[in-house]
Structure 1
Amino acid sequence: MARRLFVLGLDSLPPYVLYEGHDGGGFKFIRGLVEDSARYLMRTCHPPITVPAWMVMFTGRSPGELGIYGFRHRRPGTFDSYVVTSQDVREPAIWDDLGRRGLRFGLFGVPPTYPPRPLNGFMVTDFNTPGPQKPYTWPPWLRQELQSSVGDPLFDIVYRTEDRDAARRDLLAMVENHGRIVKYLAEGKAWDAFIYVEIGIDRAHHAFWKYFDERHPRYTYHEVYSRVIPEVYSRVDSWLEEMARGPLRDSIIVIVSDHGTKSMHGAFAINQWLEQEGYLKLKERPRSPGTDLTPDIIDWDHTRVWAWGGYYSRFFFNVRGREPHGIVGREELEDLVREVKGAIMKIRGPNGEAWRNEAYEPQEIYPVAKGDAPDLTVYLDDLNWRPIGTVGWPSNYTDRNDKGPDDSMHDWLGVLSVYDPEGTVSRGDMGVIDITRVRGLLEELLASR
Structure 2
Amino acid sequence: MQSSRYHLLGRGVNAGLERGLDRKTVILGLDGLSLGLAGSLCRKGVWTNMKELLDSGSCMGITSELPEVSPVNWASFFTARGPEEHGVYGFTHIDPQSYQMGLTDFSCVRTDTVWDYLARAGQTCRIINLPCTYPAPELKGMLVSGFVAPSLERAVYPGALYPILSQKGYRLEADTTLGLDRPDRLIEELHLTISSRLMALDLFWPDQAWDLFIIVFTELDRLGHFLFHALEDEKHSLHSDCMGLMKSLDRAAGEVLSRFEDLPGPKRLMCVADHGFAGLITEVDVNALLMAEGFLSLSRPPGDELDPGCMHPESRAFALDPGRIYIHDRGRFARGRVDQVERAEVIRQVRECLQALEYQGRKVMDHVYTADEIYPGGAGMPPDILCVPGAGFDLKAKFDRREVFGHFGRTGTHCRDDVFFYDSHGYSPGRVRDVLRLLLT
* Same fold? TM cut 0.5: yes
Cα deviation for residue 212 of structure 1 reads 1.4
User: What letter matches 1:77 in structure 2?
Assistant: Q
CA contact (8 A) 2:97 2:333 kept: yes
The answer for the alignment partner of 1:447 in structure 2 is none
Cα deviation for residue 165 of structure 1 reads 2.1
Q: In the TM superposition, what whole-angstrom CA distance separates every residue of 1:381-406 from its partner, at most 9, and x where no partner exists?
A: 3452433424554x5321x13xxx32
Q: Aligned equivalents of 1:291 and 1:239: distance in 2?
A: 38
Structure 1 residues 48-447: aligned runs within 5 Å: 48-132=68-152, 134-147=153-166, 151-161=168-178, 162-214=181-233, 221-223=235-237, 225-246=238-259, 248-250=261-263, 251-282=267-298, 292=305, 294=307, 298-301=311-314, 303-308=315-320, 310=321, 312-349=322-359, 351-382=360-391, 384-391=393-400, 393=402, 395-398=403-406, 400-401=407-408, 405-413=409-417, 414-419=419-424, 425-426=425-426, 433-444=430-441
Q: Aligned equivalents of 2:306 and 2:124: distance in 1?
A: 47
In the superposition, the TM-score normalised over structure 2's length comes to 0.85
Q: Aligned equivalents of 1:279 and 1:120: distance in 2?
A: 48
Q: In the TM superposition, what whole-angstrom CA distance separates every residue of 1:106-157 from its partner, at most 9, and x where no partner exists?
A: 101112222222222211122322233x233222213334445xx1421111
Q: Aligned equivalents of 2:188 and 2:174: distance in 1?
A: 10
Identity of aligned residues (%): 22
Q: Aligned equivalents of 1:313 and 1:160: distance in 2?
A: 23
CA contact (8 A) 2:313 2:336 kept: yes
Distance 1:75 1:296, change over 3 A: closer
Q: Which range is displaced more, 191-200 or 371-380?
A: 371-380
Q: What is the RMSD of the two structures over their aligned residues, measured on CA atoms? A: 2.6
Distance 1:119 1:335, change over 3 A: same
Q: Aligned equivalents of 1:11 and 1:201: distance in 2?
A: 7
Structure 1 position 14 matched with structure 2 position 34? yes
The answer for the alignment partner of 1:33 in structure 2 is 53
Q: In the TM superposition, what whole-angstrom CA distance separates every residue of 1:290-342 from its partner, at most 9, and x where no partner exists?
A: 974745754433x211223x4x2221222224323322111111121012111
Q: Aligned equivalents of 1:442 and 1:152: distance in 2?
A: 34
CA contact (8 A) 1:175 1:232 kept: no
Q: Aligned equivalents of 2:67 and 2:356: distance in 1?
A: 21
Q: Aligned equivalents of 1:407 and 1:23: distance in 2?
A: 23
User: What letter matches 2:140 in structure 1?
Assistant: N
Q: Aligned equivalents of 2:286 and 2:259: distance in 1?
A: 51
Q: Aligned equivalents of 1:283 and 1:436: distance in 2?
A: 41
Unaligned segments of structure 2, at least 5 residues:
1-21
Unaligned segments of structure 1, at least 5 residues:
215-219, 420-424, 445-449
User: What letter matches 1:222 in structure 2?
Assistant: H
Q: Aligned equivalents of 2:246 and 2:148: distance in 1?
A: 22
CA contact (8 A) 1:24 1:230 kept: no
Q: Aligned equivalents of 2:164 and 2:311: distance in 1?
A: 51
CA contact (8 A) 1:315 1:376 kept: yes
Q: In the TM superposition, what whole-angstrom CA distance separates every residue of 1:50-103 from its partner, at most 9, and x where no partner exists?
A: 102112012111111111111211112343111222222231112211222122
User: What letter matches 1:181 in structure 2?
Assistant: A
CA contact (8 A) 1:344 1:357 kept: no
CA contact (8 A) 2:64 2:275 kept: yes
Q: In the TM superposition, what whole-angstrom CA distance separates every residue of 1:210-244 from its partner, at most 9, and x where no partner exists?
A: 21124xxxxx8333x21343322211222333443
Q: Aligned equivalents of 2:140 and 2:381: distance in 1?
A: 31
Q: In the TM superposition, what whole-angstrom CA distance separates every residue of 1:266-296 from its partner, at most 9, and x where no partner exists?
A: 1223223222222223458x79xx9747457
CA contact (8 A) 2:100 2:309 kept: no
Q: In the TM superposition, what whole-angstrom CA distance separates every residue of 1:351-387 from its partner, at most 9, and x where no partner exists?
A: 3333344222222112320111222122333452433
The answer for the alignment partner of 2:24 in structure 1 is 4
Q: Aligned equivalents of 1:418 and 1:296: distance in 2?
A: 46
CA contact (8 A) 1:281 1:298 kept: yes
Alignment: residue pair count: 414
Q: Which structure 1 residue ranges, 4+ long, deviate > 6 Å from structure 2?
A: none
CA contact (8 A) 2:86 2:109 kept: yes
Q: Aligned equivalents of 1:411 and 1:40: distance in 2?
A: 15
CA contact (8 A) 1:109 1:198 kept: yes
In the superposition, the TM-score normalised over structure 1's length comes to 0.84
